[in-house]
Structure 1
Amino acid sequence: MSAAPVSTRVMNLASMLSQTARRLGPDLALVWGDLRLSWAELETRACACAAALQGLGVAKGDRVLVHSSNNIQMIEAMFACWRLGAVWVPANFRLAPAELAGLAETAAPKLLIGHAAFPEHARACAGLVEATVTIGGGEADYDALVAAHMGQAPDAVAVDRDDPAWFFFTSGTTGRPKAAVLTHGQMAFVITNFMCDLMPDSGPGDASLVVAPLSHGAGVHLLGQVAKGVKTVLPPGTGFDPGVIWQLVQDWRITNAFTVPTILKRLVEHPAVDTADHSALRHVIYAGAPMYRADQIRALEKLGAVLVQYFGLGEVTGSITVLPPVHHTTDDSQMRLGTCGFARTGMEVQVQDDDGRALGPNETGEICVIGPAVFAGYHNNPEANAKSFRNGWFRTGDLGHMDAEGFVYLTGRASDMYISGGSNIYPREIEEVILRIPGVSECAVLGVPDPEWGEVGLAVVVPEPGAALDPQAVQAGIAPHLARYKLPKSVVLWEELPKSGYGKVTRKLIRAELERRGQWPAP
């Protein structure tokens, strides 16, 4: 016998900050350069921001587009939006003005909160919003508005489980970015899941370092710190300086950090990793892309047993699989090589064929997932929603397999696979081999047109500084380890690989650069 739910009302996410501020008021909450905010101060400022936004006409259901590099104001605005029942819509600050305007067209925001350092972005969105608030100066200065409303605290609006809280834009590696709708009820589960699976022993004595844009995964990571009363440290400035990062790790006794593999690679390759005291670190969480084995080993050698990997798209808010420290080792014979872990608490993962049937152990198919962390769908995009869901399962678009014990292994994106002479080729397998060649720092393999085989592999390789590499040496290093049909037909050497605004290596950017350099074969 079933019964309809009596209520679908859930906690407004803004109440999470209110609860922590009530419990830990004078304790330090945020550090950004010379600026310090206690939990009570952060709550007071977030409430004042909510009152200011309310005065500008923002109400429940309205979207507020935020375009800024990491700062404390972004965090205040996030909780302010939620207090009003509005939707926080953060954008990567590295987007071009036209790209930001494209996001505004998708989200139809009421208001833009933009940083004074990006006036062209504000101008690009001027006709798409009713008002603009500027962080760091301008006619409608953010800090002036907050100061004018200090002491005011609008009540947190009542919300239901499926009320939107956050539009999480996909990175747009193929086509225009889509707005994944994250809800109050879903995000409450995600926060609980993060603290359960990624940082199970965190509390007010800990400190977290932000090493990625708050507009995406680092923002989700931050919410767990707020829930558990963990202070957050934001590096000053907008650039990435490994030396500064390691100094902050030492000075603030950082216990956890969220980053992506490319950034973690740069951190452990920097000389400061050997001089800074990072003994307080317990959880260095990496996600956003698989980490190559060679880089994984180096990080373990430098940092010890602190690595935590998770796999999860923005649409599942990072909550698909987890690989905790106990499953990381430098010993290949003891490591499940290539795994991204097992299903997160409360989530179910399945590998399916093209018809949606579950595949057996070690059979390759599409990774699909169900559970409370799955988003509510794409905003105003029924076509994308129809493609992304099948029989209730969210289709990640990632290919892989699962072993008999439930550990998931990613082969790559379905769009990354290429077919050469009728055989499926998965670039990641080849990339892992290339990165074991002495002198190789980074690499990427793409399928390119070929008149005989349809497609063949092209490897873009970045040598380590001072390394003497040539294409023939790279091909000779690959040959003993792969079947002949998997060998890249050509190798090009670059000084670096282009990265997305999220620090990811994407084949879309690499192809564009190959074409620009005249290295992409004609069809």
Structure 2
Amino acid sequence: MTSSSTRVMNLSHFLTQAARRDPEGIGFVWGERSWSWTQMEARVDAMAAALVSEFGVTKGDRILVQSSNCNQMFESMFACFRVGAVWVPTNYRQTPEDVAYLAQASGARGMICGAAFADHAAACRQASPHIGFVISIGGSSFGEDYDAIVARHEGAKVRGAAVDRDDPCWFFFTSGTTGRPKAAVLTHGQMAFVITNHLCDLMPGTGPHDASIVVAPLSHGAGVHQLVQVAHGVKTILPASEKLEVGAVWSLIEKWRVTNLFTVPTILKMLIEDPAVEKIDRSSLRYVIYAGAPMYREDQKRALATLGPVLVQYFGLGEVTGNITVLPPAFHTPDDGPHARIGTCGFERTGMQVEIQNDDGDEVAPGETGEICVVGPAVFAGYYDNPEANAKSFRNGWFRTGDLGHMDQNGFVYITGRASDMYISGGSNIYPREIEEKILQHPAISEVAVLGVPDPVWGEVGVAVCVAREGLAAADIDVRSWLEAKIARYKMPKRFVFWPEMPKSAYGKIAKKLIREELERRGELGERTQEPAA
């Protein structure tokens, strides 16, 4: 067998294909500006040429990207791919110190940085001796302007670097909810499968007549989603504001006849609860795809009532690039009848195998709780320069997700929660997800998170952090009495805390790490806090 047997298409060729098939078609829209596929291809070629000829980038070099959503950030993905470099996007809301750690951990050779992040650029240069250049998106004192570099290399043509299936293209940093972020290595061959799988399982029939809107940072799941759109010549619509403005999103959906979007449950909840949803024409929407966390049943029913049968759920960590399970529109039902599959995250994605395993790595019986494990072409190549994490995450060839759940007789998977979320109270395992689902059925509760905290008697007890619906007073809400008949007594949270809003990650997910830190800051981890009157 020769090495050519592992040769695969360079992912940047998706953009070349779109430009060939529809040269003058709109590929990207940001605010009032738009770029055709031909213009996008030319800009990517120009930056790719500059990376090689001016900055000495070679195949395998890592390029750190610290930027909020913009056309240059999206282009930088393809420019890195084209020259065989590795795209290393950050969560742009992280501190300079956090991003400096990512620069070190990735061994970044260079950096593309938004002009607003001068402190981040300085911190990265100081922390990482490998960074030899910084390109600024917008005018700044720390690097030459991205667009000026593109203009200087206008007309350049760059042939995509030859890549093998396992050549890295993207370091996808985990959110770091249980410690320092880890760089999941995504490869050209793996991502080609992921893109094909997304088109097959999440949005079948998607093509040049479609449009997709961005409502999350392009550095993570939204970036994967938009890469999928490029593969089938679908235009990307990027809202003008860096901040999520729900009314503006709905206006753009109407203006551009948007057919699909990717989001997380908390942002989808904001979209469907905003009054603007009833004032615009949203009939173009065919796929509203949500992932990143399970969607609570009450929110799911509200979304179905508002948008109709367009919801698609998928479950899949960054390490598997979203490709573990799918729940298509036909399996989303607003009814709680005997045939409804309430609480499932769906069935195995095409070409992927899921197994529920015990601590010894053996498959458990249907209905029995264990760790959700997966094998298949969408599984990443491993964590970069982290053999300890790799040893913990793989067992007998299976990737261990760290999520607990069970599978029914028909292959539908149900997530109980993160293994790290489970707590033990009085010797009993308690899974917060189940309790949260019950609490969210209370008509006065908008959001909730249940955490296990230390207790001298029971080992751990539950604390339910709640957010009341707008206009309602927490003092008037008696969750405990309402919940008593709905869950076993040992599962009842010991305390109910009301906050005006819930801490969320940069990707819009309720972040229990941040909630725990806030409880500690408020001194509410171990003390008895005020509860609604029983």
TM-score (norm 1): 0.98
How far does the alpha carbon of each residue in 1:238-296 deviate from its partner, in whole angstroms, 9 at most, with x for none? 10110011001111100000000000000100000111110000000000001000110
Matched, 1:509 2:507: no
Distance 1:367 1:442 in 2: 26
CA offsets 1:137-191 (integer angstroms, 9 cap, x no match)? 1241000000100111221110000000000000000100000000000000000
Contact 1:471 1:492 in 2 (8 A): no
Tell me, yes or no, if structure 1 residue 105 matches structure 2 residue 109: no
Give the structure 2 partner of residue 73 of structure 1. 72
Q: Distance in 2 between matches of 1:482 and 1:69?
A: 43
Q: Distance in 2 between matches of 1:452 and 1:286?
A: 40
What is the distance in 2 between the residues matched to 1:300 and 1:325?
10
CA distance in structure 2 between the aligned counterparts of 1:320 and 1:310, rounded to whole angstroms: 7
Asked whether 1:172 is paired with 2:176, we answer yes
Would you identify which runs of 4 or more consecutive aligned residues in structure 1 move more than 4 Å? 3-6
Equivalent-residue separation in structure 2 for 1:427 and 1:170 (angstroms): 22
What is the Cα deviation at residue 118 of structure 1?
Answer: 1.2
Taking the aligned partners of 1:335 and 1:269, their CA distance within structure 2 comes to 24
| Residues 48, 152 of structure 1: 8 Å contact kept | yes
- In structure 2, distance between residues paired with 1:109 and 1:481: 52
Structure 2 partner of 1:31: 29
1:387 matched residue in structure 2: 392
Report the Cα offset of residue 7 of structure 1.
Answer: 1.1
Q: 1:362 to 1:5 in 2, by over 3 A?
A: farther
The answer to whether residue 220 in structure 2 is matched with residue 216 in structure 1 is yes
Q: Which runs of 5+ in 1 are unaligned?
A: none
Query: 2:51 is aligned with what amino acid?
Result: L
Matched to 2:271, the amino acid is L
Q: Verify the 8 A CA contact 1:30 1:233 in the aligned structure 2.
A: yes
Shift in alpha-carbon separation, 1:4–1:362, aligned structure 2, 3 A: farther
The residue type equivalent to 1:63 in the other structure is R
Any idea what the Cα deviations from partners look like across 1:120-147, whole Å, max 9, x if unmatched? 1111112321110000112410000001
Output the amino acid matched with 1:47: D
User: Which residue of structure 2 aligns with residue 518 of structure 1?
Assistant: 523
Counterpart selection for 1:8 from 6, 9, 14: 6
**Partners of 1:275 and 1:319 in 2: CA distance:** 35
- Mapped to 1, the partners of 2:106 and 2:473 lie a distance apart of 49
1:154 aligns to 2:138 (yes or no) = no
Q: Distance in 2 between matches of 1:421 and 1:254?
A: 51
Q: Indicate the percent of aligned positions where both proteins have the same amino acid.
A: 64
Cα pair 1:471 1:491 within 8 Å, conserved:
no
Aligned length: 521
* Partner of residue 278, structure 2: 274
Give distance in 1, aligned partners of 2:25 and 2:412: 40
Q: Corresponding residue for 2:313?
A: 309
Residues 452 and 4 (structure 1), Cα distance of their counterparts in 2 relative to 1, 3 Å cut: farther
Amino acid at match of 1:198: L
Q: Given the superposition, is the C-alpha separation of residues 76 and 451 from structure 1 closer, same or farther in structure 2, using an over 3 Å criterion?
A: same
Separation in 2, partners of 1:205, 1:337: 33
> How far apart, CA to CA, are the structure 2 residues paired with 1:276 and 1:357?
51
Residue aligning to 1:360: 365
Give the conservation status (yes or no) of the 8 Å contact 2:444–2:477.
no
- Give, in whole Å, the separation in 1 of the partners of 2:272 and 2:24: 35
Q: CA RMSD in A?
A: 1.2
Query: 1:510, CA displacement in angstroms?
Result: 0.3
Q: Secondary structure at the match of 1:243?
A: helix
User: Counterparts of 1:470 and 1:309 in 2: how far apart (Å)?
Assistant: 35
The whole-number CA distance in structure 1 between the counterparts of 2:376 and 2:2 is 20
2:269 aligned with 1:265: yes
Name the counterpart of 2:532.
none
Aligned partner letter, 1:87 = V
Q: Residue 373 in 1 paired to residue 372 in 2?
A: no
Q: Within 5 A, what are the aligned runs for 1:282-431?
A: 282-333=286-337, 334-431=339-436
Q: What pairs up with 1:79-228 in 2 under 5 angstroms?
A: 79-127=78-126, 128=128, 129-138=131-140, 139-228=143-232
SS state of the match for residue 63, structure 2?
Answer: strand
Deviations 1:213-238 (A, max 9, x none): 10000000011100111100001121
Q: Residue 266 of structure 1 aligns to a residue in which SS?
A: helix
Contact 1:471 1:493 in 2 (8 A): no
Counterparts of 2:114 and 2:3, CA distance in 1? 43
- SS of the aligned residue for 2:449 comes to strand
Deviation for aligned residue 1:469: 3.4
The residue type paired with residue 351 of structure 2 is G
Contact 1:69 1:238 in 2 (8 A): yes
Q: Displacement of 1:75 after TM fit?
A: 1.3
Corresponding position of 1:234 = 238
Structure 1 residue 468: Cα displacement: 3.1
- In the alignment, which of 471, 484, 493 is matched to residue 488 of structure 1? 493
Q: Deviations over 1:182-220 (max 9, x none)?
A: 000000000000000001110100000011110000000
Which amino acid in 2 is paired with 1:312? G
Decide whether the 8 Å contact of 1:471 with 1:490 is kept in 2.
no
Distance 2:32 2:92 in 1: 22
Distance 1:280 1:472, change over 3 A: closer
Counterpart residue number, 1:47:
45
| Rounded Cα–Cα distance in structure 2 between residues aligned with 1:416 and 1:271 | 34
- Supply the AA of the counterpart residue of 1:370: V
Write the letter of the residue equivalent to 2:95.
A
The change in CA–CA distance for 1:5 and 1:132 in structure 2 (over 3 A counts) is closer
Q: Deviations over 1:11-55 (max 9, x none)?
A: 000111111111111111000011110111100000001011112
Distance 1:470 1:308 in 2: 37
Deviation at 1:467, TM superposition (A): 1.4
User: Unmatched 5+ residue regions in structure 2?
Assistant: 529-534
Structure 2 equivalent of residue 455 of structure 1: 460
* Matched letter for residue 327 of structure 1: F
Partner of 2:438: 433
Give the Cα–Cα distance (whole angstroms) in 2 for the partners of residues 178 and 499 of structure 1. Answer: 20
Q: What CA distance in whole angstroms lies between the structure 2 residues aligned with 1:472 and 1:277?
A: 36
Structure 2 counterpart of 1:421, one-letter code: G
Offset, 1:499 = 0.4
- Structure 1 residue 470: Cα displacement: 3.5
Partner Cα separation in structure 2 for residue 494 and residue 502 of structure 1: 20
Instruction: Return the offset for 1:6.
Output: 5.8
CA distance in 1: counterparts of 2:364 and 2:185, whole angstroms: 29
